Amino acid sequence: MVEFVFDTARSLTDLISAGPLERHPGLGIVVPHCGGALPVLADRIDGFSRPFMPGEAPVPDASAQLRRLYYDLAGPAFPRQVPALLRPADPARLLYGSDYRRTPAEAARSHAASFDTEPAPVPGTDRRSLTTANARSLFPRLAH
């Protein structure tokens, strides 16, 4: 039932280790479900990757790479997941996500309502305006 949150962390660890984010700095990736288990594992990924990375190339900084990714906030994001995510993630890269159709309508509505009760991580915004502005930045042709 909750394995997907660990699958997300595993996939991102592989992505960081394999190096495509370093090779393709303009690549925009949206990570689902607030990064899954990743926010609490980011320091471990960074620490464990250094001794085990083969070759002479510099080891990618996992924290810097995680900061470049976009994150949808689908699922129960508050009160703990988003604050944990903001350690490795840039608030300018948070996007709204609902998982509607897979998530029952009432649960999706409850999740959306939680955006209105939590303080925004960027002064002068609220969660809805922040995630809307971020989506428009990522998809400028849809901003009309």
The full 3-state SS of the chain, as one line of letters, equals CCHHHHHHHHHHHHHHHHCHHHHCCCCCCEECHHHCCHHHHHHHHHHHHHHHCCCCCCCCCHHHHHHHCEEECCCCCCCCHHHHHCCCCCHHHEECCCCECCECHHHHHHHHHHCCCCCCCCCCCCHHHHHHHHHHHHCHHHCC
What tens-digit pLDDT sequence spans the chain (144 residues)? Answer: 678 889 999 999 888 888 888 889 889 999 999 999 998 888 888 887 766 666 666 667 788 889 999 999 998 898 889 999 999 999 999 999 888 888 899 998 998 888 888 888 888 888 888 999 999 999 999 877
